Amino acid sequence: MEKRLRLAPSPTGLFHIGTARTALFNWLYAQKIGGKFLIRIEDTDFLRSKSEYTNNILEGLQWLGLKWDEEPIKQSDRISTHKKHIKKLLESGAAYRCFTTDDEISELREEQKKKGLPPRHDNRHRNLSKEEIETFISKGRTSVIRFKIDEKIQIKWLDQIRGEIKWQGKDLGGDLVLSRRAKGYEIGDPLYNLAVVVDDNFMNITHVVRGEDHISNTAKQILIYEALNFKLPTFSHTPLILNSEGKKLSKRDCVTSIDEFRDMGYLPEALANYMAFLGWSPKSAVSEILTLNEISKTFDLSDINKAGAKFSWEKLNWINSQYIRNMDSVKLSEVICRYWDNLGWNPPSKEWAIKLVILIKDSMTLLKDSIDQSKPFFLLPPIQKEGKDFLETKDSKASLKLILSYLTEQKTVKLTKEKAKEIIKEISKIHNVKKGILMKSLRVAFFGSLSGPDLIQSWELLAESKSDISRIERCLKLI
Ligand code: GLU
């Protein structure tokens, strides 16, 4: 039988890292077992669902490289099917109309609160006669459909991550509401637990992998599966992602949407690689830098931890820096050129851009670090105090003058790295100036300070963008 997994996001917000990690675990396992990864957009909360969030989720999945195998299904397109199944449950006696009003429910809650009891419906309309139903309807009372939950029942399943899970019927809050209020004999809009079961069955889902916050829903859903005579999938409940204080990662932790990670300059491959290790611990030691295809080969649901997974910026940053370092320089330069373009910085040539990227990539953690690192190659940097102090020394000024006259005399020569080294060597020898002084003076002229990227490689780049000579002249004017 074909193995089928799915992500069932509710488009009520931007694509969240928690949902993305659930998607990733589903995708990895589908790859591992040669199954399919599907999407169902659970957009039946009409007040909160927005099509821009659906687009954001789908774009985020694509960006992370998590391709789905079939056209995504929209839950809102399937409401009539959900209702048909509710009708079936009504007809079989597994569900019934409940006319309890909101005021009556609040009263019940108040009483329970006073007694220190958890909220739970008292199933008061479970056995209404036809006549009693008729009377409620004739009085204009609206009704929800409730699914009977036997208090004495124990629901058990073998969770692929957590082992055997047992849940008592009495702990499920009373008979379960399947649909919103409706008038007369109508059936209102179907609710989550019913819709999920009907849709997972329709999509032939064989493995449900979702967050641990759904464990109690699974207990309820298993009862609906049984009442509808549907084949049960296997269930796996993944651990939550926690912040540094050990609490559930939330919007309060600043960055939670996949967009934000992208905008901060994380590479999709790096973020996906990091997310895979958020809760997954492979049996045997593996490298921490792995492609998704590599991970899918060793990945198993049983290697996912039960305990929450702490989010670590440090680890994510390290992984990202490794990806930047190992990324093909031509490809990386294309990505970085977009940052430069946004700032109106124009590299003199493609080759120049690649060379600059090679020069700075080892010192980058995030893509946007490329802005600070490359800025002195596009904009004239101010001369800082340490630079000024150094330029005040006699040798420094003389050094710059020697280099300048050398360069102006040999105008036509293309300055390569080799040529740059040769110039330093020659001047040092002929004029008896220390190489270190020559290099430091040049560094101040180029970058305004005594630190910065490799001087010789920088010189080649600045010569190509025709600003090495002008930077030296500027310095000489300043002293
Ligand atoms: N729409 C639910 C959510 O976003 C899906 C839960 C499930 O996977 O069944 O939490």
| CB distance 433 to 395 below 8 Å | yes
- Within the chain, which residue ranges are assigned CATH 1.10.10.350? 385-478
Q: CA 119: distance to chain centroid?
A: 35
- The predicted pLDDT at position 409 comes to 87
| CB of residue 10 inside a 6 A radius of ligand 1 | yes
Place of tokens 């005040």: 392
- CATH placement of domain 327-378: 1.10.8
User: Ligand 1: distance of its center to the CA of 435 in Å?
Assistant: 66
CATH class, domain 385-478, is mainly alpha
CB 176 within 8 A of CB 220: yes
* pTM passes above 0.85: yes
Contact 400, 443 (CB under 8 A): no
Element (H, E) at 402: helix 394-409
| Pocket mutation for ligand 1, best pick of 10, 15, 49, 235 (most atoms within 8 Å of C-beta) | 10
CB 279 within 8 A of CB 305: yes
**Are 435 and 428 a contacting pair, CB within 8 Å?**
yes
**Mutate which of 26, 196, 208, 220 for ligand 1 pocket (most atoms within 8 A of beta carbon):** 196
In the prediction, which pLDDT does 450 show? 94
Q: What is the pLDDT of residue 414?
A: 82
Q: How far apart are CA 138 and CA 233, in angstroms?
A: 42
Give alpha helix (H) positions in 33-129.
51-64, 79-92, 102-114
Q: pLDDT digit string (tens) for 386-396?
A: 999 998 887 89
- Which residue's CA is the closest to the ligand 1 atom numbered 3? 9
Q: Which residues contact 305 (CB under 8 A, 6 or more apart)?
A: 239, 279, 280, 281
Residue 170 vs residues 34, 51, 223, 237: alpha-carbon distances, Å: 39, 38, 13, 22
> Which atom of ligand 1 lies closest to the CA of 210?
8
Phi, psi of 187 (to 5 degrees): -110, 125
Tell me the C-alpha distance between 263 and 281, whole Å: 28
| Whole-number Å distance between alpha carbons of 408 and 469 | 8
Ligand 1 site-directed mutation target among 17, 38, 54, 214, most atoms within 8 Å of CB: 214
The DSSP code for 189 is P
Kindly state if the Cβ of 453 falls inside 6 Å of ligand 1: no
Give the distance (Å) from ligand 1 centre to CA of residue 211. Answer: 8
Q: Ligand 1: distance of its center to the CA of 38 in Å?
A: 13
Give the distance (Å) from ligand 1 centre to CA of residue 208: 10
Which CATH homologous superfamily contains domain 251-324? Answer: Glutamyl-trna Synthetase; Domain 2 (1.10.1160.10)
Residue numbers of the chain with a pLDDT score lower than 50: none
How do residues 405-419 score in pLDDT, each as one tens digit? 999 888 756 899 999
CATH 3.30.420.40 for the 78-191 domain, yes or no: no
What is the reported pLDDT for 412?
A: 59
How many residues are listed for the chain in this entry? 479
Domain with CATH 1.10.1160.10 in the chain: 251-324
- Look up residue 49 and give its two tokens: 């669902």
The tokens for 302 are: 């049983």
- Return the best residue to mutate from 16, 192, 210 for the ligand 1 pocket (most ligand atoms within 8 A of CB): 210
Which residue type is seen at 10? Answer: S
Residues of the chain with CATH 1.10.8: 327-378
Local structure of 18: helix, strand or coil: helix
Nearest to 364 by CA among 313, 324, 314, 315: 324
**Residue 198 beta carbon below 6 angstroms from any ligand 1 atom:** no
Ligand 1 pocket check for 265: Cβ under 6 Å:
no
